[in-house]
Structure 1
Amino acid sequence: MAEEITNIFPIVLLRDRLMPNLFNEDIADITYWAGKSLAREFELHGIKAIIDFFNDAGFGTLTMHSQKATMQKWHLTGQVIETRLNEEKVPDFNLEAGFIAQQTQQQLGFGAEAQVEINKNIVILTVLTESAGTLQD
């Protein structure tokens, strides 16, 4: 697993300063679909591969919190998350949500959508699938 990024300024600059100015009120939709599109470029297999990708991409530290037949809850934490939450009123995490939804869909073979919730210094990504299935390690 790669080390957590120590200089998160480039991520904050692009994700929380430039992109909101470019996309305005459409940022959530655009970044969600961009995340899904990005996920199609990577053939990942299993939970660990998704977790490693998030770390390598500088998205933060991803952990599987719980998994049921048609739902997974993931927690996204780490320094990059804390900084983004502290520096921005409403940082956008829909890129990450779209990515994890598409990866889940690819791995399970069922439609999947993700929702974002922010709770203190944790970003909670809830993935709902159309049919029962669980991701493997």
Structure 2
Amino acid sequence: MSKNTAAEIHQETQSEETVPAFGYELIREVLLHEILGDDTAEILYWAGKKLARKYPLNSLDEIIDFFNKAGWGILTISKESKNELELELTSPIITKRMQNRKTQQTHQFQLEAGFLAEQIEIQKQVISEAFEHPRKKSAKVLFTIKWDKKDIVS
């Protein structure tokens, strides 16, 4: 089985049809939690890493484009240093999710965090870890990706 690039998958599935936000949220915020239970966060983090390995990207710009095409939201760079990257994720769906009082305590962005950690690990060739920081008042998610240049991927 050959690996397709993210661009090839997007090209194959690109059409005028879209998935209603309700359907997307139903799967993401309800069904996955029912299936995965208490391990939801950990499993989604590792699933994000697996997605990144399946669709490796060559640059931060490609990661930003991937998030947009996948419908995950608008990803922007907040701050970058020699061993840390801060990114901000926004979208109308995230805003609605954050404002929904019924799910305010349950939404997670571990799939995206795992995806970011693995993409940075692949690009920089050092072990990377990502942390999510949902900001309910501003209806966005901040991600902190950290790495140690001495901790090289073998």
TM-score, normalised relative to structure 2: 0.79
Counterpart selection for 1:106 from 122, 135, 145: 122
Alignment of 1:1-137 (within 5 A): 7-87=20-100, 88-89=103-104, 90-119=106-135, 120=137, 121-131=139-149
**Using the alignment, how far apart are the partners of 1:36 and 1:6 within structure 2?**
24
Residue 6 of structure 1 deviates from its aligned partner by 7.9
Greater CA drift, 81-90 or 115-124: 81-90
Identity %: 35
In structure 1, the gaps of 5 or more residues are: 133-137
Q: Deviations over 1:6-33 (max 9, x none)?
A: 8322221111010011111111100000
In structure 2, the gaps of 5 or more residues are: 1-13
Q: Deviations over 1:51-105 (max 9, x none)?
A: 0100111111111111101100000001121122223222110000000000000
Greater CA drift, 96-105 or 111-120: 111-120
* 1:131 aligned counterpart, secondary structure: strand
Aligned length: 129
TM-score, normalised relative to structure 1: 0.88
**Using the alignment, how far apart are the partners of 1:30 and 1:21 within structure 2?**
13
Q: CA RMSD in A?
A: 1.7
- Give the AA of the match of 1:100: L
* 2:33 aligned counterpart, secondary structure: helix
Name the structure, 1 or 2, with higher relative contact order (CA <8 Å, separation 6+): 1
Q: In the alignment, what sits opposite 2:6?
A: none
Q: Deviation above 6 Å: which 4+ runs of structure 1?
A: none
Check whether the contact 1:15–1:92 (CA below 8 A) recurs between aligned residues: no
- Give the AA of the match of 2:29: D
**Using the alignment, how far apart are the partners of 2:80 and 2:121 within structure 1?**
15
